[in-house]
Amino acid sequence: MVTSRSWKRLKKYGIKEILLSKYLILPLVITIGSYFLISDLFSNPGMRNFVSSATGVSQSLIAVTLTGLAILVSFSDKKFLSFLRKNDTFEKLLAIFEYTVTLAIITSFYGVFLQSVSFEKWVFFIFFFLFIHLLASISALVSTILRFSETKAKYEGLKDFDEGNMSEEMKEDLDHIRDQISTENSSSSESVSDDEPELEKESL
């Protein structure tokens, strides 16, 4: 459910980044190109079959995305989540999941609606755009999760060091590595449009 906090997360993540993201622009270009170049290839029965199949896929992706978030959180201990919250990385990660789930819900409802009425070809291409954008966002989300896992692995590796037996120079190097991980996590979270996710923002 979209709440005021969801909007705050979205603003923090960057509405501009989403609008300029390749995961939004590329589906838009594909949709416009398809509409003007090959729209005659889409028959009415063909469009209805596409809407029916794509709606089913969109509904499945809602469950998959929510399950992915649950797994991600369950594998993260309190210290690691606290580490991510220091630079708002966790909030940005949640924004990506919320955006993707909301997009999947909108696509699903729109698809169900189209299956109940007759529609013009341009109406179908709006659905076509939403579905392609959803698939692109899912691919970005997967990339984000992989980066999240890499960050978690680095973090766990640092926890194994015994700082009590380290020289001051080694401790400084260790602090530098920690700062690096934090910076990477933060900057990656600010890039869905550039090749994000986040934690580079891939998502959207």
pLDDT by residue for the chain (204 residues), tens only, comes to: 556 666 666 666 667 777 888 889 999 999 999 999 988 888 899 999 999 999 999 999 999 888 888 877 776 667 777 766 776 677 777 888 888 999 999 999 999 999 999 999 999 999 999 999 999 999 888 887 787 777 777 766 665 544 454 445 545 555 555 565 555 555 544 444 444 434 444 445
Asked, for residue 145, whether it belongs to a domain, the answer is yes
CA 114 to CA 53: how far, in whole Å? Answer: 12
- Is residue 127, in this structure, part of any structural domain at all? yes
Q: What is the pLDDT of residue 47?
A: 93
Residue 39 lies in a domain: yes
How many independent structural domains does the chain possess? 1
pLDDT for 87 equals 64
Provide the pLDDT for residue 16.
73
Residue 170 corresponds to which amino acid?
A: M
Is residue 194 in a domain?
A: no
Distance CA 157, CA 114 (A): 51
Strands (E), 91-138: none
Which domain, by its residues, includes 138?
4-188
The answer to the question of residue 66 being in a domain is: yes
Distances (CA, A) of 163 to 18, 79, 83: 41, 17, 18
Model's pTM, two decimal places?
Answer: 0.71
Q: Is residue 52 part of a domain?
A: yes
Position 199 scores a pLDDT of 45
